[in-house]
Every structure is written in structure tokens, then in C-alpha cells.
Amino acid sequence: MIQPTKNTMKIYINFDINVACRTVVLEQLLTLGIPYESQDLAEIVIPDKVPPEAFSQLQKNLKRYGIEILNDQKSQLIQRIKNTIIEMINQDKLPASKISLYLAEKMNMNYSYISTLFSEFTHSSIENYIILQKIERAKKLLLQELSLTEISYMLNYSSVAHLSGQFKKTTGLSPSVFKKIIDGRKRRVFTT
Amino acid sequence: MIDEEKMNIILADDDEDDRNVFKQAIEELGLNIELEIYKSGDELLDYLNDPSKVELPHILFLDLNMLCIKYDDCLKDLRKNPKFQDMSIAIYSTSTSEKDIHETFIGGANIYINKPSDFEVLKKSLREVLKINWQFHTSGLSKDTFLFSI
């Protein structure tokens, strides 16, 4: 690892994790010569006559990037629910409709079915998962210097107090303490 | 609570009573957990630094005031090594001082647990910690900004 000195400079990167993962997957398919038809973000259609060696090589190559091919239907469905939630929360402004309605519509499934399945397999409720993802997004926005007022608007919190309360409940820290700690870490990297 | 996958955790604590209490609490949670225990920071780092060790724990519980002779600062040593970047580090301490909590987080800890004196409270805290850590692990959330204080 390079030790920061006077001759180093710090660069900031911003990346779209979805684009990055997708590009990796498509590049791997190309490398292995597997024809594909790509549908939405996490769904890819490949011919079923792909030789097993090529398929297992694909699995192995993707694993290095932390990307997993999901084999069984239930875990695929759980992953689709998670992806839909993540996509929803990463929009500039959360949909105004109720999240349960939004999910049911996007997934084209009954909400109580989605919710039961989710709890059964992840042992976390779908509501808790949504809160966790919203707070993750709030963290990112906080570090991009957005104010709590702006963040609570984007994430559909009724008030700054509601956002702060949920942040504190989920992380054990208030948003301002959280920000101080992350800023403190950044400073430390460059002073030690 | 956790899919079918096994969770690997390590505890490093130099106090025998605390180690036993921790072990019992983890056992009573009844989860699919593999727990390994080390009696000092040195023992822990020797183990983790062994290049033949490829599988790292999902979460490491470190006693903050543990003696570490060979390596003067366990947390710093661990965070300096890129190999351990994805491993969550939970600091287990009796201190409730806000300054200690801040310092620990700035030093690279992900989780700060105030050692409760009540056994049931400890179990509850551990369950919370393991649950949230598992969410981060299985959902591929960024560990860089993963902070949790209980």
C-alpha cells in the first residue's frame, strides 16, 4: 500500500455499482463465448446447451467479483425483491405511493406473499430491510454534504426528526456523530 | 434468523470470565455459529496473519482493553492490512465515554458494544449485532460506512 506523503494525491471516485456489476458479467460472458440476451438488471438469458465446463468457469470467474449466479427460484425471487427495493431507494426521489403498493406493482405479485417469503428466508422483515437501505442511502447523501432537510425530502421522511430518529435507531449514532466519525477517519488516513 | 449459511465469529478477550460469559451467550442464541476464541491480541494476530488462513471470520469481537504486547495496537494493525478490509470488527468494551466510542470508530471499528452487566441484555445485544452484520454481509452493503453502536 502506498503511504500518503507529500507526493501523493487523493482522488475521489464515484461509481454506479449496478453498471459496474453488469459490465463485469457481460464481459465475462463475452470472454467465455457464451451467447446471451440480457433483460433487466439482474436477469440474463443464456442457451441451455452451454457446456457445463463453461458454466462453472463463469460461476468461478464471477465469484471473484462477489457476483453469484442464483440457482433456485426462491433465492432468485428474494434477490429480485432486494434489487427492486434498492433500485427504488436509489432514485432521486422516492415514489410517493405506499412502498407496499409500489413493490407489489413492480414485482407483479401480491404484497403479503412477497413479505411472508422475505421474512421466511432472510429472517428480517421487508420493512426492516427497507429501513436499512434507506439509512444506507441517507449515509451516502450525508457524506455528499446534503442537509438533513434535503435528505428527508428525498427519502420521503415526514420530518427531519423522523429521519434522525430512524438513523439513530438503525446505527446507534446520530447523523451528525456519524458524519464526524467518517470525516475523522478520512483525516486520519492523511495524517498518519 | 440466518439463512442456512454458517456464520463464523472470533472473540479475543484476555479475561477468562468474560470469555465464558460470551461463549455461553452465543450458544444460547441457538444460531448456526462457529465461534473461535483467543486469549490475547497477540494470539489473535498470529492466527489471522497466518498466510495459510484464507477464510476470515464474518465478525471479530475485540476487547478494547486487552493486552497486546507484540502488536501495540490490535485495531490499527488489523485495519492497516487490506486482507482484513471486509471483516467487521466489533469492539467490546466497558467504557461508555463518547470520546472512547468516537476514537474506536475513527480507528476503524464497525461496531461498538458496551459490555452489559446483565446476561440477558448481552444476549439481546449480540443478537442485534449479528443480525445487522449479516444484513450487511448478505446484501453487499459498504463496510466503509458501516457503524453500529449498542
Residue B38 has phi, psi (to 5 degrees) of: -120, 150
Measured between beta carbons, the chain A residues lying within 8 angstroms of B132 are 132
Measured between beta carbons, the chain B residues lying within 8 angstroms of A3 are none
Query: Cα-atom radius of gyration of chain B, to the nearest Å?
Result: 14
Rounded Cα gap, residues B34 and A112, in angstroms: 34
Min Cα distance A49 → chain B (Å) is: 31
Predicted TM-score (pTM) of the model is 0.71
- Total count of domains within chain B: 1
**Residue B44 within any structural domain of the chain:** yes
Q: A-side interface with B, Cβ within 8 Å?
A: 1, 66, 82, 121-124, 129, 132-133, 136, 139-140, 143, 171-173, 177-178, 180-182, 184-185, 188
Q: How far is CA B122 from the centre of its chain?
A: 14
Q: How far is CA A49 from the centre of its chain?
A: 32
Give the mean model confidence (pLDDT) for residues A135-150: 92
Which pLDDT does position A71 carry in this prediction? 65
Query: Cα-atom radius of gyration of chain A, to the nearest Å?
Result: 20
Which pLDDT does position A137 carry in this prediction? 93
Which CATH number is B81's domain given?
3.40.50.2300
Identify the CA nearest to B8 among candidates B43, B49, B48.
B48
Give the mean model confidence (pLDDT) for residues A33-60: 78
Which pLDDT does position A151 carry in this prediction? 93
Identify the CA nearest to B57 among candidates B39, B37, B82.
B37
Which pLDDT does position A120 carry in this prediction? 83
Instruction: Report the residue from A66, A178, A180 with minimal CB separation from B140.
Output: A66
Domains of chain A (ranges, CATH numbers): 17-63 (no CATH), 73-191 (1.10.10.60)
- DSSP, collapsed to helix, strand or coil, labels residue B89 as strand
Which pLDDT does position B1 carry in this prediction? 40
Task: Say which residues have a Cβ less than 8 Å from residue A23's Cβ, sequence separation at least 6.
Answer: none
Which pLDDT does position B96 carry in this prediction? 82
Give the mean model confidence (pLDDT) for residues A161-181: 93
Residue ranges with strand state E in chain A: 37-38, 44-45
Which pLDDT does position B120 carry in this prediction? 92
Tell me the C-alpha to C-alpha distance, in Å, between residue B103 and each of A132, A164, A185, B75, B144.
Answer: 25, 22, 9, 11, 16
**Residue B2 within any structural domain of the chain:** no
Identify the CA nearest to A43 among candidates A83, A97, A91.
A83
Residue B13 has phi, psi (to 5 degrees) of: -150, 135
Q: Is the pLDDT of residue B4 over 60?
A: no
- Do residue A1 and residue B82 have CB atoms under 8 angstroms apart? yes
Give residue-wise pLDDT tens across range B47-88: 888 877 767 888 999 887 775 555 557 787 788 888 887 789
Q: Which residue has the higher pLDDT, B71 or A111?
A: A111
> For A6-20, A23-37, A150-164, B62-76, which range has the lowest pLDDT when averaged over its residues?
B62-76
Q: In the predicted model, what is the mean pLDDT of chain A?
A: 84
Instruction: Report the residue from B107, B108, B141 with minimal CB separation from A136.
Output: B141
Give the mean model confidence (pLDDT) for residues A110-129: 86
**Residue B1 within any structural domain of the chain:** no
- Do residue A121 and residue B3 have CB atoms under 8 angstroms apart? yes
The interface residues of chain B toward chain A in range 112-141, judged by CB-CB distance below 8 A, are 112, 131-132, 135, 138-141
**Residue B113 within any structural domain of the chain:** yes
**Pairing state between β A44-45 and B111-114:** unpaired
For A119, nearest residue in chain B (alpha carbons) = B1
Element spanning B34, H or E: strand B33-38
Q: In the predicted model, what is the mean pLDDT of chain B?
A: 83
- DSSP, collapsed to helix, strand or coil, labels residue A98 as coil
Rounded Cα gap, residues A99 and A101, in angstroms: 5
Q: Is any Cβ of chain A less than 8 angstroms from the Cβ of B105?
A: yes
Rounded Cα gap, residues B86 and B137, in angstroms: 9
* Most confidently modeled range among A158-162, B6-10, B51-55: A158-162
8-state DSSP, A3: P
> Quick check: B148 and A171 in contact, CB under 8 A?
yes
Which pLDDT does position B2 carry in this prediction? 42
- Do residue A140 and residue B148 have CB atoms under 8 angstroms apart? no
Q: Is the pLDDT of residue B92 over 70?
A: yes
Task: Say which residues have a Cβ less than 8 Å from residue A33's Cβ, sequence separation at least 6.
Answer: A54
Burial of residue A157 (number of CB atoms within 10 Å: 0-12, 13-18, 19+): buried
Q: Which residue has the higher pLDDT, B26 or A188?
A: B26
Min Cα distance B3 → chain A (Å) is: 6
> Quick check: B120 and B106 in contact, CB under 8 A?
no
Task: Quickly tell me which residue has 445487522 as its cell.
Answer: B132
**Residue B94 within any structural domain of the chain:** yes
Give the mean model confidence (pLDDT) for residues B3-27: 86
Min Cα distance A172 → chain B (Å) is: 4
Which pLDDT does position A4 carry in this prediction? 57
- DSSP, collapsed to helix, strand or coil, labels residue A170 as helix
Min Cα distance B103 → chain A (Å) is: 8
- DSSP, collapsed to helix, strand or coil, labels residue A145 as coil
Q: Which domain holds residue B13?
A: 7-149
Return the residue in A67, A118, A123 with the most chain B beta carbons within 10 A, the one to mutate for interface testing.
Answer: A123
Give residue-wise pLDDT tens across range B39-48: 888 888 888 8
